Each structure stands twice: as structure tokens, then as C-alpha cells.
């Protein structure tokens, strides 16, 4: 009985650690009109969530949820199968351990959704940019939410991020669109 319990605990911890490290590849294209938003976020702590909202929409989980954004350990993020329209970055979340979270809300830095509107055109890939978060990133209960800085950076650039996402989208229709975008950027 003890061996069985130990094996179950070991298998469960291996499964959880494997699932927590690398998100699944992006889903295949559901509708030819759907688009993709991608970019990169860097910080001294691992960013685990990018919050993306559709402009003018109110979210009330679990009934109405924001678009899913996959964040990879290297900081790249991608949201696929987005309907054409306007979206904005609402913030980022870092995680330490299983229970400690730190939210970086752009509204805390007086960044209005109007300033970060991203227009997704039918079937298009939209580069949001690369960002760096610095400041008080430690998971301190006395740290205030506004004690961080977010800046646009040049590294990594659109081509580099697309090349990495291309490898992740193996076997999906996104690879053709990424390849077309890379060719366009090389002109």
C-alpha cells in the first residue's frame, strides 16, 4: 500500500512538473479569418500569463473569459484563433511556486487600453512587440503593484520570435502563415 501511494505521488509530481514547464503548442487554425497576436515579455521572474482583452468586451469568468494566451518559458507569447477586431494588453502575471502570484497591471502605470490597441485583420499575424519588466519584482507582501517599470525593447525582434513560434506550430496551418510573414519581412 505504501509503495503504491509513493508511486502515485511520484507520478503525480512528475506529471505536474512536466505540465507546468512547457505549454502545449498553439491550436490549429479553426477559421481562415482568424488571426494571431504574438510578442515577447522578459523579467527577472518567470512570466506565466499575458492578459489580453477584446476591446469593449466585459469578462465575467467562468461565463465569459478573455482570449487564451500561451506563454513559453523563454518569454514568447502567442494568442491564436482570434476573431478580427481590436484587442489590448491588460497586464502580465508572474508566478513563484504554487501559490505566490504578482500581477503587473498596465493600468497601474497609467497605460490606457487606448494606448495598446492591437488590430487583428482577417487571417493576419500581428506582432505586439517585445517588453521588459523591471522594478520591484520580488514577491514581497509590502511591495506595491505600481513599483515596476515596463518598457519596449528591440530584442527579441519579430523575425526571431516568428522563427521560434514556427517550430512550435509544427503540423498546423499557422506554419504557412508564419512562413509567408517571414518572407515578407525578408524583402
Kindly report, residue by residue over 5-36, the tens digit of the pLDDT.
444 444 454 444 444 455 677 788 888 899 99
In the predicted structure, residue 112 carries a pLDDT above the cut 80: no
Query: By C-alpha distance, which of 76, 37, 32, 79 is closest to 173?
Result: 32
State how far the alpha carbon of 174 is from the alpha carbons of 54, 58, 103, 164, in Å.
21, 29, 30, 12
> What phi and psi, each to the nearest 5 degrees, are found at residue 160?
-65, -45
In the predicted structure, residue 124 carries a pLDDT above the cut 70: yes
pLDDT of residue 18: 45
Query: By C-alpha distance, which of 67, 70, 27 is closest to 173?
Result: 27
What is d(CA 42, CA 39) in angstroms, rounded to the nearest whole number? 10
- Range in 79-88, 118-127, 138-147 the model is least confident about: 138-147
pLDDT of residue 22: 56
**Pairing state between β 35-42 and 76-82:** antiparallel
Confidence of residue 108 (pLDDT cuts 50, 70, 90): low
**Pairing state between β 148-153 and 85-96:** unpaired
pLDDT of residue 136: 64
Domain boundaries, the chain: 30-186
Count CB-CB contacts under 10 A for residue 97: 7
What is d(CA 106, CA 61) in angstroms, rounded to the nearest whole number? 20
pLDDT of residue 47: 86
Looking at domain 30-186, its CATH superfamily turns out to be Immunoglobulins (2.60.40.10)
Please give the model's pTM, rounded to 2 decimal places: 0.78
pLDDT of residue 158: 95
For the chain, give the mean pLDDT. Answer: 79
Amino acid at each position: 500500500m505504501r509503495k503504491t501511494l509513493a508511486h502515485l505521488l511520484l507520478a503525480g509530481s512528475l506529471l505536474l512538473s512536466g505540465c507546468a514547464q512547457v505549454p502545449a503548442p498553439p491550436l490549429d487554425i479553426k477559421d481562415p479569418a482568424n488571426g494571431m497576436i504574438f510578442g515577447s515579455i522578459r523579467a527577472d521572474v518567470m512570466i506565466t500569463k499575458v492578459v489580453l482583452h477584446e476591446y469593449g468586451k466585459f469578462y465575467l469568468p467562468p461565463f465569459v473569459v478573455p482570449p487564451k494566451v500561451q506563454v513559453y518559458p523563454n518569454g514568447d507569447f502567442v494568442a491564436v484563433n482570434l476573431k478580427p477586431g481590436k484587442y489590448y494588453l491588460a497586464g502580465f502575471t508572474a508566478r513563484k511556486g504554487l501559490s505566490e502570484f504578482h500581477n503587473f497591471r498596465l493600468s497601474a502605470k497609467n497605460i490606457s487600453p487606448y494606448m495598446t490597441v492591437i488590430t487583428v485583420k482577417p487571417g493576419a499575424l500581428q506582432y505586439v512587440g517585445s517588453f521588459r519588466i523591471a522594478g520591484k519584482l520580488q514577491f514581497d507582501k509590502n511591495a506595491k503593484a505600481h513599483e515596476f517599470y515596463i518598457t519596449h525593447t528591440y530584442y527579441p525582434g519579430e523575425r526571431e520570435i516568428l522563427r521560434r513560434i514556427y517550430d512550435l506550430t509544427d503540423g498546423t496551418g499557422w506554419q504557412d502563415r508564419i512562413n509567408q510573414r517571414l518572407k515578407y519581412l525578408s524583402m
